[in-house]
Chain A
Amino acid sequence: MYELIVIGGGPAGLAAACEAWDAGLRRILIVERDKTLGGILNQCIHNGFGLTYFKEELTGPEYAHRFTQLLAKTGVEVRTDTMVLRITPDRRVHMTGPSCGYRIEEASSVILAMGCRERTRGAIGVPGARPAGVFTAGAAQRYVNVEGWMPGKRVVILGSGDIGLIMARRMTLEGAKVLACVEVMPYSGGLTRNIVQCLEDYKIPLYLSHTVTDVLGRDRVEKVIVSRVDENRRPIPGTEMEFACDTLLLSVGLIPENELTAAAGIRMDPRTKGAAVYENMETSLPGVFACGNVAHVHDLVDYVTRESQRAGAAAARFVLNGPAAGEEIPVENGPGVSYTVPQRVRPENVDKSLGIFFRVNRIFGRSRICVEAEGREVCGFDRERMAPGEMESVTVPKKLLAGVKGGLTVSVREVEK
Chain B
Amino acid sequence: MYDVLIIGCGVVGAATAMELSRYKLSVAVAERENDVAVGTTKANSAILHAGYDPKPGTVMARLNVRGSQLAAEYCQKLDVPYRRCGSMVLAFSERDMETLGVLLDRGNRNGVPGLRILTGDEARQMEPELADTVLGALWAPTAAIVSPWELCLALAETAVKNGAELKLCTAVTGLERAEDHWRIHTNRGILEARYVVNAAGVDSDTVHDMAAPHDFDIRPSRGEYYLLDKAEGGRVNTVVFQCPSEKGKGVLVSPTVHGNLIVGPNAEASPKHDESTTAGGLDFVRETAKLSVPGVNFGQSIRNFAGVRANAGLDDFIIRIAAPGFLDLAGICSPGLTSAPAIGEYAAELLQGDGLRLEKKEHFEFHRRRIRFKELDEESRRELVSRDPAYGRVICRCETVTEGEILACFHTPIPPVSVDGVKRRTNAGMGRCQGGFCAPRVVELLSRELNVPAGEIVKDRAGMKILFEETKEVRGDV
Contact = CB atoms under 8 A, between A and B. Distances in A.
Report the contact-size class of chain B (Cβ under 8 Å from the partner).
35 or more
A125 interface: yes
Interface string A91-105: 000101111111110
Given A117-B433, A120-B433, A218-B273, A132 B465 contact: yes
Contacts of B444: 147
B464 A219 contact: yes
Given A96-B381, A99-B389, A102-B381, A127 B279 contact: yes
Interface residues of A, number: 54
Contacts of B392: 82, 96-102
Contacts of A83: 393-394, 397
A101 B454 CA distance: 29
Contacts of A81: 393
Contacts of B276: 127-130, 214-215
A220 interface: yes
Nearest to A146: B440
Nearest to B300: A123
A138 B435 CA distance: 11
Interface stretch (B127-135, B160-168, B184-192, B467-475): B467-475
B439 A175 contact: no
A150 B471 contact: yes
A353 B400 CA distance: 41
B302 A122 contact: yes
A213 interface: yes
B382 A152 contact: no
B282 A125 contact: yes
B436 A98 contact: no
Task: Find the residue from B393, B460, B465 having the highest chain A CB count within 10 A.
Answer: B393
Contacts of A218: 273
Contacts of A259: 398
Interface string B269-305: 0000111111101100000000000000000011111
A165 B469 CA distance: 22
A86 to B, nearest CB: 10
Interface in B354-390: 378, 381-382, 384-386, 389-390
Given A96-B394, A150-B471, A118 B278 contact: no
B261 interface: no
Interface string B118-149: 00000000000000000000000000000000
Task: Find the residue from B432, B443, B454, B474 having the highest chain A CB count within 10 A.
Answer: B432
Given A96-B385, A103-B382, A122 B434 contact: yes
B458 A132 contact: yes
B461 to A, nearest CB: 6
Given A85-B400, A132-B466, A144 B378 contact: no
A219 B454 CA distance: 17
A235 interface: yes
Given A117-B432, A122-B434, A174-B471, A101 B440 contact: no
Interface string A129-154: 11111001011001110111111110
A273 to B, nearest CB: 11
A213 B467 CA distance: 24
Contacts of A146: 440
Interface string B444-478: 10000000001100111101111111111110000
A94 B373 CA distance: 14
B227 interface: yes
B304 A122 contact: yes
Interface in B79-133: none
B437 A117 contact: yes
B470 A149 contact: yes
Interface string A70-97: 0000000000011101000000001011
Contact of A130 (B275, B382, B386, B403): B275
A219 B468 contact: no
A219 B464 CA distance: 5
B282 A150 contact: no
Contacts of B474: 148-149
A33 interface: yes
12 contacts: A83-B393, A85-B400, A96-B393, A102-B378, A103-B382, A125-B282, A127-B278, A132-B464, A142-B440, A143-B467, A147-B443, A150-B468
List 6 A-B pairs, minimum CB-CB distance, nearest first.
A122-B303, A98-B389, A148-B474, A132-B459, A219-B463, A132-B464
